[in-house]
A and B are shown apart, each in its own frame.
Chain A
Amino acid sequence: MFPDKLNIPLGKSVNALVDWLVVNYGDAFEAFADALLTVLVWLEHLLRAAPWWLVIAIIAAIAYHASRSWKTTLGLALAMVAIGTLGLWDKAMQTLALMIIATGLSVIIGIPVGIGMAMSNKLRAVMIPLLDMMQTMPSFVYLIPALMLFGLGKVPAIIATVIYASPPVIRLTDLGIRLVDKEVLEASRSFGASRGQILWGVQLPLALPNIMAGINQTTMMSISMVVIASMIGARGLGEQVLTGIQRLDVGQGVEAGIAIVLLAVVFDRIGQSYGKKSRHSAKAGDGA
Chain B
Amino acid sequence: MSYIDIRNIYKIFGPNPQKALTLAQKGENKNDILTQTGHTVGLSNVSLSIEQGETFVVMGLSGSGKSTLIRHLNRLIDPTAGEILFGGENILNMTTARLNAFRRAKLGMVFQRFGLLPHCTVLDNVAYGLKIQKTDRQKRQDAARKWIERVGLAGYEDSFPDELSGGMQQRVGLARALTTNPEVLLMDEAFSALDPLIRSDMQDELMKLQSELHKTIVFITHDLDEALKLGDRIAILKDGAMIQVGRPEEIVMKPADDYVRAFTRDINRSRVLRAKTLMMPIDDNTQQAGSGDWPEIAADMRLEDILPIAIACPAGINVVNHKQQRIGTLSKDQVIAALAA
Interface residues of B in 63-114 (CB under 8 A from A): 71, 74, 76, 99-105, 107-109, 111-114
Known: A186-B76, A186-B111, A285-B160. A192 touches B119 (CB 8 A): no
Q: Does B129 contact A (CB under 8 A)?
A: yes
In the assembled complex, the Cα of A82 lies from the Cα of B99 at a distance in Å of 61
A90 CA to B103 CA, complexed, in Å:
60
Query: Cβ of B115 and Cβ of A205 under 8 Å apart?
Result: no
Contacts of A186 in B (CB 8 A): 71, 76, 109, 111, 115
Most buried by A among B117, B129, B131: B117
B104 contacts A187, C-beta separation under 8 Å = no
Report the minimum CB–CB distance from A282 to chain B (whole Å).
Answer: 5
Per-position contact with A for B104-142: 1 when CB-CB < 8 Å, else 0?
110111011111111111000000110111000000000
Contact at A183–B132, with CB atoms within 8 Å?
Answer: no
A residues less than 8 Å from B160 (CB atoms): 283-285
Contact of B100 among A194, A202, A205, A283 (CB under 8 A): A194
- CB < 8 Å: which of A183, A194, A206 contacts B119? A206
The answer, yes or no, to whether A181 is at the interface (CB within 8 Å) is yes
Q: Is A38 located at the chain interface by the 8 A CB criterion?
A: no
Contact partner, A285, options B104, B105, B120, B180, Cβ 8 Å: B120
In the complex, chain A residues whose CB is within 8 Å of the CB of B107: 190, 192
Give B56 Cβ to nearest chain A Cβ, in Å: 18
Whether A193 contacts B118 by the Cβ 8 Å rule is no
In the complex, B32 has a CB within 8 A of chain A: no
- Could you tell me which residues of chain A, from 184 to 198, have a CB within 8 Å of some CB in chain B? 184, 186-194, 197
A202 near B117 with CB under 8 A, answer yes
Contact with A along B267-295 (1 / 0, CB 8 A): 00000000000000000000000000000
Contacts of A72 in B (CB 8 A): none
- The interface residues of chain A lying within 8 Å CB-to-CB of B102 are 192
Given that A191-B132, A192-B132, A283-B162 are known contacts, is A205 also in contact with B111, CB under 8 Å in the complex? no
**Cβ of B186 under 8 Å from chain A:** yes
Q: Which residues of A, 226-259, contact B by the 8 Å Cβ criterion?
A: none
Are A191 and B111 within 8 A (Cβ)? no
Give chain B nearest CB distance to A108 CB in angstroms: 24
Measured in the bound complex, the distance between the Cα atoms of B128 and A193 in whole Å is 10
The CA of A139 and the CA of B54, in the complex, are separated in Å by: 67
Contacts known (A183-B113, A194-B100, A284-B162); A189 close to B76, Cβ less than 8 A: yes
In the complex formed, the residue of A with least CB distance to B101 is A192
* CB-defined contacts of A272 to chain B, threshold 8 Å: none
Count: A-B pairs, CB below 8 Å = 76
B216 to chain A, nearest CB (A): 15
Contacts of A284 in B (CB 8 A): 160, 162-163
**Which of B104, B112, B116, B119 has its CB near the most chain A CB atoms (within 10 A)?**
B119
Q: Which chain B positions have C-beta within 8 A of A193? A: 100, 132
Q: Which residues of B contact A197 (CB under 8 A)?
A: 132
Q: Give the nearest-CB partner of B133 in chain A.
A: A192
Count B interface residues, CB 8 Å: 34
Tell me the bound Cα distance from A186 to B107 in angstroms. Answer: 13
Which residues of A have CB within 8 Å of B117?
A: 184, 187-188, 201-202
B115 near A183: Cβ-Cβ < 8 Å: yes
In the assembled complex, how far is the CB of residue A233 from the closest CB belonging to chain B, in whole angstroms?
45
| Partner of B180 from A188, A191, A202, A206 at Cβ < 8 Å | A191
For the complex, give the distance between the alpha carbons of A206 and B74 in Å. Answer: 24
A281 interface residue, CB < 8 Å from B? yes
B74 and A190 contact, CB distance less than 8 A: yes
Cβ–Cβ < 8 Å partners of A184 in chain B: 115-118
Q: Cβ of B103 and Cβ of A191 under 8 Å apart?
A: yes
Chain B CB within 10 Å, residue with most, of A190, A205, A284: A190
Provide the residues of chain A in CB contact with B115, threshold 8 Å: 181, 183-184, 186-187
Q: How far is the CA of A197 from the CA of B112 in the complex (A)?
A: 23
The interface residues of chain A lying within 8 Å CB-to-CB of B113 are 183
> What residues on A are CB-neighbors of B108 within 8 Å?
190-191
Give B31 Cβ to nearest chain A Cβ, in Å.
27
Q: Which residues, 46 to 86 on A, are CB-close (under 8 Å) to B?
A: none
Q: Closest residue of chain A to B74, judged by CB? A: A190
- Partner pick for B103 among A181, A192, A202, CB 8 A cutoff: A192
Interface 0/1 of A25-41, CB less than 8 Å to B: 00000000000000000
Contact B116 A190 (CB under 8 A): no
Measured in the bound complex, the distance between the Cα atoms of B128 and A184 in whole Å is 12
Q: Which residues of B contact A188 (CB under 8 A)?
A: 117, 128, 132
Contact of A191 among B121, B129, B162 (CB under 8 A): B129
Nearest Cβ distance between residue B136 and chain A, in whole angstroms? 16
Q: Which of A187, A201, A206 neighbours the largest number of chain B CB atoms within 10 Å of its CB?
A: A187
Known contacts A190-B186, A192-B104, A193-B100; decide if A183 and B129 are in contact (CB<8 Å).
no
Return chain A residues, CB-CB under 8 Å to B128.
Answer: 188, 191
A residues near B71, Cβ cutoff 8 Å:
186
- B223 to chain A minimum Cβ distance, whole angstroms, is 20
Closest to B121 in A: A285
List the A side residues contacting B111 at CB < 8 Å.
183, 186-187
**Contact A285–B76 (Cβ < 8 Å):** no
Residues on B with beta carbons closer than 8 Å to the beta carbon of A183: 111-115
Closest CB in chain A relative to B146 CB, distance in Å: 18
User: Which chain A positions have C-beta within 8 A of B76?
Assistant: 186, 189-190
In Å, the complex CA distance between A194 and B103 comes to: 11
Top 4 nearest A-B pairs by Cβ distance? A187-B115, A192-B103, A192-B104, A190-B109
Instruction: Give me 8 other A-B pairs in contact (C-beta within 8 A), A190-B103, A205-B119 excluded.
Output: A183-B112, A184-B115, A187-B111, A188-B132, A192-B129, A193-B100, A194-B100, A284-B160
